[in-house]
Structure formats: C-alpha cells, structure tokens
Chains A and B, each alone.
Chain A
Amino acid sequence: MYDNEFFVVDMASCSSTGEIINSLSLALETLNHSGKKIVLKLNDSYFNQSQMLSIQSLITSYGCILDTVETTNEDTIKVVENMNIPVQKPIEKRVDNSYSNINSTNSFEPFSMSSQNNIEQKEENLHFEADLDAFKKQNEVDIPSFNNVQDGKDEDFTIMQNHFTAHHDDIIEPETVISDEFQDADDLHTAALYAQNLNTINKEQESKEEKTEEFENTEKKSIGVYKKAYDENAIDQDEWEEVDFYETPSNDPVVSDSKHTTYINQTLRSGQVIESDGNVVIIGDCHPGSEIRAIGDITVWGILSGIAHAGYKGNNSAKVRALKMNAVQLRIGDCYSRRPDGTNIPYIIKSSIFTPEEARVVDGEIMLFKINQKN
C-alpha cells in the first residue's frame, strides 16, 4: 500500500487543523511506526506556524518525520519554509511510482466492515486483547486502524501488550480471575493508567503541613466545590477542604483534539471504570461509583453522577460535558473539585429537566457553564 520510506498523506479535503489532525492520526495509526517520511498534501487554505508546528509534533509523536509539504497557498509556503521543511508545488498528474497515495478520509470506509470480521476471527486468550476488542468494536473512529494488513495489526496489538504488561505484573495478582470481560477491562486499565494518573495530581497551591510524629511531611492541595458559572445563588459558603496529595513529577500536557474518540453505548454502573488515551463519549448514564478517565475530553449523553477525570495527564484545557451534571467529583487536568454537600442525594431524581453543562478550568477552579453559553 505504501512505499518503504515515504508515505503520502492527502489532506486536500481538510481545511481546518482539527480535521487534519484527526485524519492524520487515523492514517498514522496504520503505519509501522519506524522513521517513515511523511509527504503532507494540503489544499490552498492557510495554516499559520503554530498550526503547522502542532501537525509536525503529531507526526513526530508517531515516530515519523515530516519530510515534505505540498501546498498551493503562498502564505503557508512561507511558514513551512521558515520551519526548514522543503515545499513542493502539487503536480497535476502524478505518474511517479515511488510515492503511493492514500487519501486518508476515503480509503478507510470500504474496510470498516471487514475489520470487524477480522476482530472476530482472531480470538486470543490474553484478556487485554479481548478488552481492546470490546473497546474497538464500540469505537467507530478507531476501527479503521484495524484495516491494516495483518502485520500492521499485530504490531498495533503488541504495542498495547507491552504497555499493559509492564504495569500488569506489579499491580494485579496473577491468580485473580475475573469472569466479566468488562470488569476485566476496568482493572487492567486502572492498573496500567492509574499510576500515570497520579503523577499529575499536585502542582499548584502547595503549602507545608505541620510535622506529626508518626507521619511524614506531605504536600497539600485544596479540593474545592465546583460551582455554576451562570448561577448567582451558587453555593459559596461551603468551606474548602485540605486534602493531601502525593507529589510526583508531572508529565507534559497533551493536546486533546489530536486524540481519537471512544464511543461507549451503555450505562456505566457502580465500580465500572472507563480508561481512554483519547476522548470519551458515553451514550447513557454514569451511575455513582463509576469512573471515567480520559486524556482528552469526556462527554456524557445522559446523567453524570460518577467521577469524571478529563485530561488526566495534566491537560487543564480538557472539558467534561453532560446532559445533567451531578458528578461526585470532577477532575480536570490537575484540578480537583467535588459536588456541593447540599445535593448529596445519591441517585438524582431522573426528571425530564436537563440542563446540558460543560465543566472547564477557569483560574485553577472548575466551573460549570451552560453548553450554549458564550464565554
């Protein structure tokens, strides 16, 4: 499908950076991630330097190199030349066989059916693969990454295996047999990613705690109450609580819109955990005791009553949206907040009144905004 060294990505159908990053990440997931040179074909729309830089960093994050950019826009050419990347003007009819062409948006569609068959055919005993399948099946955006040739797909799996087994050994006891596949997925994800999660918790508002005889000194961070930005009567009297957090070096922030989206079409019940290294969309309710962790954004098409942690690698620009926001705790990046005590009704009455709300970080505090409100 593609040459050994070069990989042409046709982005002529995309005009915004968001679209490009989305389709590019899809296309790059099908590659063997070893030093491929990318030839990026753009249309005549203008991209500034920061946009080009983010595209370039996405490509390097997949282990590839942005080799050449093809564009017709004069301004974009200048930007690209400033970045010391060679520019090509598009040739009307390409007869050159050294490059092979993939149109990232169209070429995936015919494969989406067969990829599901592929998944079903390949039954592996290792349970993290099973849980991967469960996730991929529900994940419309991700499915194309399986349309790759068999080798490519295997590679995809082995990467995940390494990722999980590294943490798997020390956290989950080997004799633990969990019959439920979903529960299985939870624990693995928890095990693998919770450790990273904790790295990012404490950054700001550090204050020294008094020494006690038995316990060592720890850093403190406040856990505040989340408030409605538009509600004048928002609960203000509630005192801020000091909660001890473990201080560990944080990872670099991750840009959320470069991430894929996982769709989950079910109700999350108590004890179930969804982990994702992209965005998460849940079509259903999230009951108290459930937990969602995502590097990107979290969207709940229903009532969110569990714990939601968006941008858990320290991305404070991540957002949490829900048709009805009743989350026990909201965590965005390294900010924490909890539900006001007055609303401590475990299962909120399922009334028909829904106020879609979005949680964002404003000045280090998590605030709720009405979804159509402009801010």
Chain B
Amino acid sequence: MTGSVIVITSGKGGVGKTTTSANIGTALARLGNKVVLIDTDIGLRNLDLLLGLENRIVYTIVDVVEERCKLKQALVKDKKNPNLCLLAAAQTRDKSAVDAQQLKDICDQLKEEFDYVLVDCPAGIEQGFQNAVAGANEAIVVTTPEMSAIRDADRIIGLLESKEGVEKYRLLVNRVRPKLIKNNDMMGVDDVVDILSCDLIGVIPEDTNIITSTNKGEPVVNDEKSLAGQAYMNVARRITGEEVPLLDIDEPDTIIDKIKKFFSKKAQG
C-alpha cells in the first residue's frame, strides 16, 4: 500500500496552514483513513497545540532524524481517533536540524503504513519549505482573499511547479467572508481562482469557532454545527476522490439586515 503525501503550504504566514492541516487530518481520519500529520515547523511548533497533544510529546522529528528513537516511537496517537497520528516538531531546535533528504525518507517510510501523510509546512520559502515539499506528491496551497496572500501563493505555485515530485496542487481559499464579498469589499473566490489559475479544492468561511477550538485543542471538524468544520469535512471528502459540491457559505440575514432591507425597499418603492 502506498499512501499519498500532501504538503499544506502557503508562503505567507497566518493564513491558516496549521489549522487546515489539523482539520483536514482529523477529517480524513474520521472518514476512516489512516492519517499521519507531520509538523515541519521546527522551533515554532503549533500543530500539537491545535490537536491538544502538547502534553504527550516525548520524541520529535529531530530525535528521529538523529536516530535517538525509532520513527514509530515518535508518533503520538490522537486522543479520540486512533487512526490519526502526529509526528511533532522539536521546539528547542531550528529548521537546519533536518534536511530535505531526511524528510523525504521519513515520508517514504510513513506512506507505506498510512493512507495519507499530511505535511504542515512553515511560512516562507527557505529551508523549512524545501524540507516540507521534498517528499510530497501533492500540495494544497492555502490562501486568503487578500492581495498579499495571493501574491505569495502565486510564488509558491511557481516553486511547486518546478519541483519534480509534486504531481498536482490545488487551492484552498480560507477565511472567506461572504458578506464582504457581497458588498464588494473583499475579493470573491472566483477572482482568486482566476488570478492564480489553479484548481480549487475548497472554500472555508471565516468562523469564530476556529479561535475557541484552537484554545481548547480540538479541531473544529469535530463540531458538527460549525460552518468551517463542515467545509473542512468537504475538503477531506474531495481529497479522497469524492465529488462534493461547494458548501453554501452565505450567512443567513440577521433581523437587523431584514429590517434594513424592508425599509430600503419601501424607500425605493
């Protein structure tokens, strides 16, 4: 069995790479796949925090690379889902502790055992990015509907195209606010896809649940009611090859909006 290695990257920081990794990983595991998440953000690790596994980490990826432990020993099992494992990054070292070949070897070993190997990439295009991309055969480029994030995503797509191993890359538009798009204050998802001319894998609406879920250490996909959680679940389905239509992320009108509409119609009429 050979699983696929998917790198989640963006170029720009703060667009939601780690959140996306945690949620897609959890969602894929909930769909019954064996998933391992690799945090390559050595020195600034966060993925363990989002999954609530911070207190379980004994060995890290650096220990594996420096042969202080075996690969299997460094995998931390998720609290709820036994299908999900985490290979944590070391907090006390930096990106140079691991090189691209070593990470490729780890990915190659893991994809024999797991259906999906998700690699959480650090921001930037330096060694951390080069390491993370090394073993990947698929990529998800995360961006937000802002010019700066789109520009960085464009650069990343260019770099991914020049990589030999990466067969396909898809775009995930994060933190979309339908209301702002409606009022023409924010770029629409179609515009983003047009600019980057890239396949779309999903649209995630802005959701305050993300903040609480991060603090609790529980991915938002476990919350059935959350819109972002549902959107991440759909993304996971699309990764497995299922055809899922885009989620309707339009927020329902609040009472104040309805009243405003009512009066504006009256004024026009």
Of B14-22, B51-59, B228-236, the one contacting chain A is: B51-59
Decide yes or no whether A53 CB sits under 8 A from chain B. no
Decide: A346 and B93 in contact? CB cutoff 8 A.
Answer: no
Decide yes or no whether B223 CB sits under 8 A from chain A. no
For this complex, 22 residue pairs linking A to B, each with C-beta atoms less than 8 Å apart, are A173-B96, A186-B92, A187-B92, A198-B69, A216-B70, A218-B73, A223-B56, A241-B77, A243-B56, A243-B73, A244-B73, A245-B73, A246-B68, A246-B69, A246-B70, A246-B73, A271-B91, A289-B45, A338-B56, A341-B79, A344-B217, A345-B215
Decide yes or no whether A157 CB sits under 8 A from chain B. no
Contact check: which of B56, B70, B92, B113 meets A218 at CB < 8 Å?
Answer: B70
Known contacts A216-B70, A246-B68, A341-B79; A346 and B54 CB within 8 A of each other:
yes
Decide yes or no whether B66 CB sits under 8 A from chain A. yes
A246 proximity list for chain B (CB < 8 A): 68-70, 73
Decide: A215 and B68 in contact? CB cutoff 8 A.
Answer: no
Chain B nearest CB from A272 CB (Å) reads: 8
Decide yes or no whether A291 CB sits under 8 A from chain B. yes
Decide yes or no whether A373 CB sits under 8 A from chain B. no
Convert A173-188 into 0s and 1s, putting 1 for each residue whose CB lies closer than 8 angstroms to a CB of B.
1001000000000110
B79 proximity list for chain A (CB < 8 A): 341
Chain B interface bracket (under 10, 10 to 19, 20 to 34, 35 or more): 20 to 34
Decide: B68 and A288 in contact? CB cutoff 8 A.
Answer: no
- Measured CB to CB, the residues of A under 8 A from B are 171, 173, 176, 186-187, 190, 194-195, 198, 212, 214-216, 218, 223, 241, 243-246, 270-273, 288-289, 291, 328-329, 336, 338-339, 341, 344-346
A336 proximity list for chain B (CB < 8 A): 58
Known contacts A214-B113, A341-B52, A344-B216; A223 and B91 CB within 8 A of each other:
no
The 5 A-B residue pairs with the shortest CB-CB distance in the complex, in nearest-first order: A244-B73, A338-B55, A215-B72, A339-B55, A289-B91
Chain A nearest CB from B213 CB (Å) reads: 12
Decide: A190 and B55 in contact? CB cutoff 8 A.
Answer: no
Decide yes or no whether B49 CB sits under 8 A from chain A. yes
Of all chain A residues, which has the CB nearest B66?
Answer: A171
Contact check: which of B45, B55, B68, B109 meets A195 at CB < 8 Å?
Answer: B68
